[in-house]
Amino acid sequence: MEVKTYRAGSLQEALQLVRTDMGPDAAVLQTREVREGLFHWLSGTRRIEVTASCSVNVPSRFPPPLDDTGEFAAAPSSADWTGAACEDGNTEDGPTSVPAHCDTDYRAKFRDDLRDELSDLHSMVEQLSRPPAAPSHGQLGESLFQLFTELIDAEVSEELARDLIDRVQLEAGNEERDDPELMRSRLARLVEADITCGGPIRVVPGQSRLVALVGPTGVGKTTTIAKLAASFHLRERHRVGLITVDTYRIAAVDQLRTYADIIDLPMEVVSTPREMRAAVARMADLDLILMDTAGRSPSDEVRLRELKSMLNEAHADEVHLVLSSVTSAAGMRKAAERFADVGVTSLLLTKLDEATGLGNLLPLLRQSKLPLSYLTNGQNVPDDIAGAERGRLARLVLGMESIN
């Protein structure tokens, strides 16, 4: 008896393979879910395997068509009626009419069978759509399992945590796998390799550099401008000026003016592209111009276009997209996508002190091509800011180091 197995991404595709290879009369003997790929127990691809044969005669479940007289055109064979035979025992071979109640019994049986099959299919689909169970202690071994739970505690998504553990396991030698510290530093290096840092703003005396901060509302743009201004002016003795284009709220102008007064810096308030040109010209002899902008919803395309034309007018050398670490991974991805259009050149992450775990930053850090400039970790001006550094950031997002 010829028996073959076929694998595909879905039951439907697997049955199509059977049909193409063995023809429409092939009988399906078994279906089951299998996993393929390296470390299939962790994240192998789920496939459906169908075992089929052409040599097995499986009775048709469908009644033969009725002819013009309302009788079956060709009598079903005894095999066709297996289990559905009429109580009269009217199962003899050869052309014969089927009594009405036999037909009714058959159809009822057919309906029941169909219901059972639908219910089986339903459970199969449910099972397939369920995420695979988390890897167990026994599957991973002591140190990798510990690492996996640490990633989950750091709010790394389960999918990403599995992927990272897989990669670490793949790279580690057998003797390393029992050493939690070695595995931890291997994991940190892996994540570090995905992070790009651009370093702090490079100010060259006499070469006016214009740096703008943009981003969603309330992420800490103005506070960060104040931290940068104080740091460059008071600590590094550079000549710094401030421009704000956030004229939508009176309080926003007052907020920056307060910082400008305390640090003793010139400040310009700009509301049109023309005013922008004039303000930049007046500050041309400064070493650093920091530009504050109004918070924008990533979905507000009109306001984002306005922001872009202001930045073009200012000829900004650097545009830092400010994102809060307490935003969801999806929210950060959306903001990064939408603000890319305004000409963003780097990422600046704020409020690291407020996040319960920083694993949500990982997808953005891995996917974004933008270099990171600064990290902020509190409301204190000018202290709570530091240049982004790959190794430290990797340990922070993996929960191996605390921000405070």
Q: Which residue lies nearer to ligand GTP by CB, 84 or 294?
A: 294
Position 344 contacts ligand GTP (CB under 6 A): no
Chain residue whose CB lies nearest Mg ion: 222
Position 222 contacts ligand GTP (CB under 6 A): yes
Q: How far is the CB of 256 from Mg ion (least distance, A)?
A: 7
Q: How far is the CB of 221 from ligand GTP (least distance, A)?
A: 4
354 binds, among Mg ion, ligand GTP, none (CB under 5 to 8 A by kind): ligand GTP
Q: How far is the CB of 328 from ligand GTP (least distance, A)?
A: 17
Distance of CA 266 to the CA centre of its chain: 43
- Is residue 267 a contact partner of residue 219, using CB atoms and an 8 Å limit? no
372-376 vs 385-387, strand pairing mode: antiparallel
Q: Which residue lies nearer to ligand GTP by CB, 113 or 354?
A: 354
- For residue 346, give the H/E element and its range: strand 346-350
Position 351 contacts ligand GTP (CB under 6 A): yes
Closest CA to 266 of 248, 284, 251, 250: 284
Q: How far is the CB of 194 from ligand GTP (least distance, A)?
A: 23
Residue from the set 223, 231, 244, 360 that interacts with ligand GTP by CB under 6 A:
223
What is the rounded CA–CA span in Å between residue 329 and residue 156? 10
- For residue 7, give the H/E element and its range: strand 3-8
Site residues (CB under 5 A) for Mg ion, limited to 212-231 = 221-222
Position 324 contacts Mg ion (CB under 5 A): no
Length of the chain: 404
Closest CA to 268 of 292, 244, 240: 244
What is the rounded CA–CA span in Å between residue 298 and residue 42? 36
Q: Report the greatest alpha carbon distance in the chain.
A: 107
Q: Which stretch binds ligand GTP (CB under 6 A): 70-78, 132-140, 195-203, 374-382?
A: 374-382
Instruction: Return all residues near 3 (Cβ < 8 A) that are at least 6 apart.
Output: 29, 51, 52, 53, 55
Residue from the set 76, 359, 378, 382 that interacts with ligand GTP by CB under 6 A:
378
Residue from the set 169, 231, 244, 377 that interacts with ligand GTP by CB under 6 A:
377
Position 373 contacts ligand GTP (CB under 6 A): no
Q: How far is the CB of 320 from Mg ion (least distance, A)?
A: 14
Site residues (CB under 6 A) for ligand GTP, limited to 280-319 = 294-295
- For residue 112, give the H/E element and its range: helix 100-129
Closest CA to 245 of 213, 202, 223: 213
Interface ranges with ligand GTP (CB under 6 A): 217-223, 246, 252, 294-295, 350-351, 353-354, 376-379, 384
